[in-house]
Amino acid sequence: MKSVVVNGYGTIGKRVADAVSAQDDLKIIGVSKTKPDFEARMAVEKGYDLYISFPEREKLFHDAGIEISGTVDEMLEKADIVVDCTPGGVGAKNLAQYKDLGLKAIFQGGEKHEDIGLSFNAFANYSDSFGQDYVRVVSCNTTGLTRTLKPINDLCGIKKVRAVMVRRGGDPHQINVGPLNSIVPNPPTVPSHHGPDLQTVMYDININTVALLVPTTLMHQHNLMVELENQVEVEEIIKKLEDTSRVMLVKANEGLGSTAEIMEYAKELGRSRNDLFEIPVWQESLNITEGELYYMQAVHQESNVVPENVDAIRALLEMEEDPEKTVQKTNKAMGIL
Ligand code: NAD
């Protein structure tokens, strides 16, 4: 049983903590908060030992009646590995402390690949992280692209990908982000950073992306145009995606024609926080014209990277050499289809 701590118990951190707790070979021995807010209170109510990022704020937690177990420095001393889920850019600053402690660390997609040195996706490059000290789990968008492009590349080879990324303006709880009533080319320059980010885990993929921000909080949505290396039928692509873990085919004609309806379906699954860890691909959108595959998919940005964080722990701690075995183990414990 390996001891894991989560530094930054926010949108991603609280989900990673629960996913790790569900595994029989890992345990959470601490999570951290900067403020005595409802998430801090609920972490303690769930039974997590809570550590504070800023020792001078101890009185704030005491006054709020939230029990703390110590400081982040103390938490890190006890761990086999830290999953850093702090806001983008903070993780890279924390890296020096983890290095001083000789502590292995996993970072999130808000960090720059160059700052961490190695990026991770369980399906694309698991073995490159085996036994390494630091790795970055790629962002929710890049994880979504990898989940479907990797099996398609395995099936028939990919000459070139073009993708239009329609991105949510913010997460559901974020009251001060937008846009509220606009479609924003973001960035307005082409290509966006998503293509190069995919190349940090699928090293040889030829891809260009453009990205937009829209006024929604539920999911991202991707539109892909994929020039195939070898001729295949759409049915073969469908079969491949059906057989691929953490990908699900959905049918618009069954009432799942939008991100809103897909998130309603996620509620029906009855998981904690209504999370959808899998990438839904609209079956009707799959089409091949003149050797080019078209399809549309969505990404539940708050949760899809969470299982890959669990897999990354097993890779860094050399707990499982076979990526398929860790994926299966993680999936089973998290109830992933
Ligand atoms: P968040 O703001 O919801 O949570 C961050 C947590 O870190 C909060 O609990 C905050 O209190 C804590 N924190 C802030 N400053 C800190 C500091 N200096 N030291 C320690 N803790 C600190 O952020 P999030 O959305 O969970 O994002 C975390 C990381 O995950 C980022 O790299 C982000 O890019 C990435 N990510 C986010 C999403 C998403 O859609 N939210 C999806 C995939 C990846």
Q: Mean pLDDT over residues 35-51, rounded? A: 98
Region of 121 please: left (phi>0), alpha (psi -120 to 50) or beta: beta
Is residue 305 lining ligand 1, measured as CB closer than 6 Å?
Answer: yes
Q: Mean pLDDT over residues 250-277, rounded? A: 97
Catalytic residue positions? Answer: 140
Residue 174 exposure: Cα atoms within 13 Å on the Cβ side: 16
What span, in angstroms and rounded, lies between the C-alpha atoms of 160 and 130?
A: 29
pLDDT tens digits, one per residue of 68-85: 999 999 999 999 999 999
Tell which atom from ligand 1 comes closest to the C-alpha of 143.
43
Q: How far lies 266's CA from each of 61, 200, 273, 336, in Å?
A: 35, 30, 9, 12
Which is it for strands 292-299 and 287-289: parallel, antiparallel or unpaired? antiparallel
Pocket test for ligand 1, best of 85, 168, 303 (most atoms within 8 A of CB): 85
Phi, psi of 222 (to 5 degrees): -120, 140
Count CB atoms within 10 A of the CB of residue 173.
10
Domains plus CATH for the chain?
A: 2-138+305-334 (3.40.50.720), 140-299 (3.30.360.10)
Q: What is the DSSP letter of 139?
A: P
Q: Mean pLDDT over residues 92-106, rounded? A: 98
pTM: 0.97
The full length of the chain comes to 337
Q: How far lies 210's CA from each of 12, 23, 115, 234, 267, in Å?
A: 25, 37, 24, 25, 31
